[in-house]
Structure 1
Amino acid sequence: MKATFITFLLVFTGGFAFAQSYYFKMSYGFGGGINKSFTDVNKGGIGYTAYGVLDYHFTPFLTLGLEGQYGMIKGGNIRTDPNNRQFVNKYTAITANVKLMLGEVVNYDKSEFLYKIRGLYLGLGIGAINNNITDIVRYKPLWAANPGYGPFLGEDKTLELLVPLNLGFNYYINDGYGYMRYVININSQLNYTIGEGLDGYDDSRQRFKNFSPDVYSAYTIGFKYMLGGVKNYSKTL
């Protein structure tokens, strides 16, 4: 009887450990936060970003996904900017992103610290941003130095290439069956645009010293839910 009980216990324990090595192949999520612009105006402003994401998991710690963003990017100030310029961009964007987590490249089974930070990741993507300038100063106001100067060149609506760089952390929460099911995500994203549409200004580089790409950073917090079929993974999750 004692031998039978021990055998049953070992089988049960082994089966549970094996179940812990399964993961879901898909996840979707949403979130939001703030952004800051770095463009041709003297000083960037703080705007907002909302996003939705759908990921495919090659492993629990290597993903390829689509991310859609909507938000407002702004910068400059008609009174304090040296050229009296300011803008507001109500943008939308879509990108494909690869993300590699620490858990894929380290043996976290023997380190409690590494296990806790296994969701730390880097990511790289490519996509497009649709710029929609809803408010912009094209001519200097009458009270400014050189009143009436303009127009400041540029377009109000543009579609441009977008390259996001991601640094973030996934905090995993198991469901009642022991599977990684829920994720709290914290992400910092630096977005490079290929063009001059983010702020709506495209003036001569000789006058405005415009030698760097338009960039905006986004700092977000979000939630993800894992779903779909399951796959086996070589490490205990």
Structure 2
Amino acid sequence: MKKLLLTLTLFTCLGIGTVSAQFSRPVTVGAGAGVAYGLADLGNTKLHFAWYGEADYLLSPFISVGLQAQKGELSGFNSGNEYSNKYYAGNVNAKLRLGKFMNLPENYSYFTLGASNLQRILANIYIGAGAGLMKNRISRSLTEKYADGIVKAGGEIADDRSGIHFVVPFNVGVDIPFGRTLYGPQWAVNVNYQHTLTTNDNLDGIINRNKDQYGFASIGVKYAFFNRN
């Protein structure tokens, strides 16, 4: 965990000072929806609708820190066994965009006003990581044979199906900007894939050797509030 926090700190602080002239460090808010799926012990997964809301603070044009809230459902089945988890999740995260490593003008206004649409899209491809909490609301139906097999293999059938646990989300995506101003785009369409690792192997009410995971693919809209100091 200490290594993760150190990595996030370095990741956030990397090169904040460049490409910042005329940049107003905006706060952006966004919302969107997509599909979520679980990777748990009952391996035949289903896709379910999920949605999110988020807010980000841009430390530089291409480095941001933010908060995200998410709600969705995960489910799976296998030979008469099934589970459903109507979950809530929230995380704090950092994102680093490709524009940080592109040969761009030192004055951000020159870039945002003069770049081609392709350059602007490429500059806003990002990777990210974070840390957060997830609340489960699990219902399940297991055959006696399957439950006995889990216990005999050293696992357990969890009694707590509504617990809160720590999660680590990883993001890859792109902000597709619309409009041009001296201070950067005000609107963007966001396309994102988030893959989340859990720490207690209890997305499905079954605790076994391998930690459960889940994925969330989404599309949304972002709006920037500019602070023109």
TM (norm. structure 2) is: 0.76
CA distance in 2, matches of 1:178, 1:53: 21
Which structure is larger by alpha-carbon Rg, 1 or 2?
A: 1
The change in CA–CA distance for 1:68 and 1:189 in structure 2 (over 3 A counts) is same
1:156 paired with 2:161, answer yes
1:165-180 equivalences in 2 (<5 Å)? 165-174=170-179, 179-180=184-185
Give the unaligned 5+ runs of structure 2. 1-20, 106-110
* Code of the aligned partner of 2:89: A
Give SS of 2:52's match. Answer: strand
CA distance in 2, matches of 1:115, 1:108: 11
Residue 108 of structure 1 deviates from its aligned partner by: 4.2
* Code of the aligned partner of 1:213: K
Which residue of 1 is the match for residue 35 of structure 2? 34
1:137 paired with 2:141, answer yes
Query: Quick one: which of 88, 91, 100 aligns to 1:92?
Result: 88
- Structure 1 runs (4+) deviating above 2 angstroms are 20-24, 108-116, 146-152, 175-179
1:107-122 equivalences in 2 (<5 Å)? 107-108=103-104, 113-122=118-127
Contact 1:181/1:225 (8 A) holds in 2: yes
Residue 107 of structure 1 deviates from its aligned partner by: 1.3
TM (norm. structure 1) is: 0.73
Give SS of 2:157's match. Answer: coil
Which residue of 2 is the match for residue 6 of structure 1? none
* Aligned residues: CA RMSD: 2.6
The change in CA–CA distance for 1:70 and 1:147 in structure 2 (over 3 A counts) is closer
Residue 129 of structure 1 deviates from its aligned partner by: 0.3
Contact 1:138/1:153 (8 A) holds in 2: no
Residue 35 of structure 1 deviates from its aligned partner by: 1.1
Which residue of 2 is the match for residue 194 of structure 1? 199
CA distance in 2, matches of 1:32, 1:102: 24
